[in-house]
A and B are shown apart, each in its own frame.
Chain A
Amino acid sequence: QSALTQPASMSGSPGRSITISCTGASSDVGAYNYVSWYQQHPGKAPKLMIYAVSNRPSGVSNRFSGSKSGNTASLTISGLQVEDEGDYYCSSYTSSNTWVFGGGTKLTVL
């Protein structure tokens, strides 16, 4: 299985919005509504930000939202804040009953 495709890096200004894409295939992203997004700060474990395409776990800011169209999922962060800087990874369940992660996107807020 191939890793999901994400932009390697993105940047945005405080207060603006940004959308990170995650492109897979009809055997993973396109097949299931089991796309998750994780935020990771340096030296820390990943943190679940979005599950099942568009659901936020308790405690995650409503500035984070998710969506999916076809084989591409997206994470939108509105009202960017400095603390949103970090690496973001998407993940999807696959038709092989396994999981696959994206290559990660390094978000810079400047």
Chain B
Amino acid sequence: GAGVSQSPSNKVTEKGKDVELRCDPISGHTALYWYRQSLGQGLEFLIYFQGNSAPDKSGLPSDRFSAERTGGSVSTLTIQRTQQEDSAVYLCASSLETGSPYEQYFGPGTRLTVT
């Protein structure tokens, strides 16, 4: 079946602009996660959704970052007033919440470049 999809695959933006990154999880997966992958910091957890609720937002690096999930499916990660240090690959993953709750399947990522 279809895996996790993310759009856009690449995004170049100017410093100070806002960006929205989209994630479509695997159909039927109730849990959704955002991670960030950068050269200096490796793979970092950002936020976790169970359904439309976000019980853990502890990884969001600043209040410029926010995320929402609607209909228990699609999620959007928004970065306001982008900074150069926001340049990274943003990865989305999803998992079933029953059976094997922790098997996370990743999408291809969105490469964000802030100029």
Are A and B bound to each other? no
Hey, which bits of chain A sit against chain B, CB under 8 A? none
